[in-house]
Amino acid sequence: MTFEGFIIHHSSCTSINGVGYDFWISADGFITSAPLLTDPSHIHICLEGNFNRSYDLLGAAEKQQLFIASKLIMELSRQYDISPLFLYPHTNTCPGKEFPWNELVIYPSHGYH
């Protein structure tokens, strides 16, 4: 199975009652993973809350969720051999134009020097 990347949602996404997410990061920072990955091409990660805001406007708990998500992405990218830079929004409004994408990317420590 080859994944093309990660799709990021937040829980104000209206399709939340449709197909489940592969990984759910709750407001208190816990990761719940689905028993099976649902999409053969992308791994879906959902952050609980509304993340259509710039990083400065997020609370401490939300910043922690982003940090947990970034570590999860690093872990999954290693496990499934996907670039951790291949992050995509679900739609124009999910997780939104203001979503702080830069906070989700941890560059591999041996790069960018």
Does residue 9 interact with Zn ion by CB under 5 A?
A: yes
x-or-dash string of contact with Zn ion, 82-111, rule CB under 5 A: --------x---x-----------------
Rounded least distance, CB 12 to Zn ion, Å: 9
Kindly state whether residue 13 participates in binding Zn ion, applying the rule CB under 5 A. yes
When asked if residue 42 is in the footprint of Zn ion (CB under 5 A), the reply is no
Please return the burial class of 63, using the count of CB atoms within 10 Å of its CB with bins 0-12, 13-18 and 19+. Answer: middle
Q: 84 or 95, CB closer to Zn ion?
A: 95
Q: Which is nearer to Zn ion, 42 or 90 (CB)?
A: 90
SS (H, E, C) 56-97: HHCCHHHHHHHHHHHHHHHHHHHHHCCCCCCEEECCCCCCCC
Told to check if 47 binds Zn ion by CB under 5 A, we report no
